[in-house]
Amino acid sequence: MKIFIPFVMSLLFLPTNDCGASDTDEESAAATRLIFNAIEKDKDLQLFLESGADLQDIKIKGYPTLAHALKQNNKKAIDVLLPKVDLGFVWKDGTYLHEVMRKKDLPLINDFMKVYSDQKKLGEVVDIQDSEGNTPSHLTAIYLLESLTNVPLVEDIKKILRELKEAKGHLTIENQASQTVTGLLELAQERVTRHRRLTLGWSEMHIRMRGRDMLLIEENVDQMWAAYNDDPLGINAPNLKGTTPLHIVAFKYVKFAKQERKQDAEDCLKLLRSMQENDGLVDLENQAGDSVTKILAQMQP
């Protein structure tokens, strides 16, 4: 390490020409390679950082070291560099958040989102556009569009989109293809609704009870009541997995109760009671073995 630090530092503080650039790109790249070699060999970068070097200023092929590590799928380098760089940094291709969203690696995205939250930098970059006009929210919505058949993954991606929205990310910014995040989510909703109807055997009542769940809008219990009132005889209709509209309302009740949305939870219970009085089958099990009675029992003390 004693040899490594002075050698790298000598490369970083090379004489510059009148334009402020180092005399040779090769020497700068050599310094960067030394950093990555040190990471690969489990060398500690702390002394290097304490000596005054700025990992953000060191670039290879025009990219900051962390962005280069992302492009190279260098997990060890990412783990070392992520907590040490300023995630508010912006360059020609956008931000670190753009880079990680392009990876479409959920655990890695969650790691970056946590550090963005710790550094309180998410609001600074959430609306930055890359060279194609995409914000991080655009790239996340595209990730969701490509993952619609993986329901658990879709739910996790929606959580990230909500975090971006809560960070004041705008959903109506257009990219170079004239796409907005809202438009991409509308397309996702159309595709998932068609899949539910044609492939999973959902009735119109199932679809209306579930609501427009791809659009990051809060579920409206009044709309669930309206769906019930329009077709009170459809409450026991199962889809291909045996799930009825009653099951959907019961699942939403549990969700609202856990989120402490007390009024919405109470309204769901009122709707369930009305459906039961209208011959709703609360003990009918779906293929997963869930009945409305069993679902509601989750909330018993």
Residues 243-276 pLDDT 10s? 999 999 999 999 999 999 999 999 999 999 999 9
**Domain assignments of the chain as residue spans, ordered by start:** 1-85, 87-199, 219-301
CATH number attached to the domain at 219-301: 1.25.40
Whether the domain at 87-199 and the domain at 219-301 fall into the same CATH topology: yes
- How confident is the model over 124-176, as pLDDT tens digits? 999 999 999 999 999 999 999 999 999 999 999 999 999 999 999 999 999 99
Question: pLDDT: is 57 or 252 the higher one?
Answer: 252
Q: How far apart are CA 166 and CA 180, in angstroms?
A: 17
CATH number attached to the domain at 87-199: 1.25.40.20
For residue 60, what pLDDT is reported?
A: 60
Structure tokens at 177: 């293809």
Structure tokens at 147: 């993952």
CB 209 within 8 A of CB 248: yes
Return the C-alpha torsion angle 78, 80, 83, 84, nearest 10: -110
β-pair partners for 177: none
| Alpha-carbon dihedral sign for residues 262, 263, 265, 269 | positive
CB 90 within 8 A of CB 128: yes
Coil, helix or strand at residue 94:
strand
pTM, rounded to two decimals: 0.81
The angle that helices 245-258 and 262-277 make with each other, rounded to 10 degrees, is 160
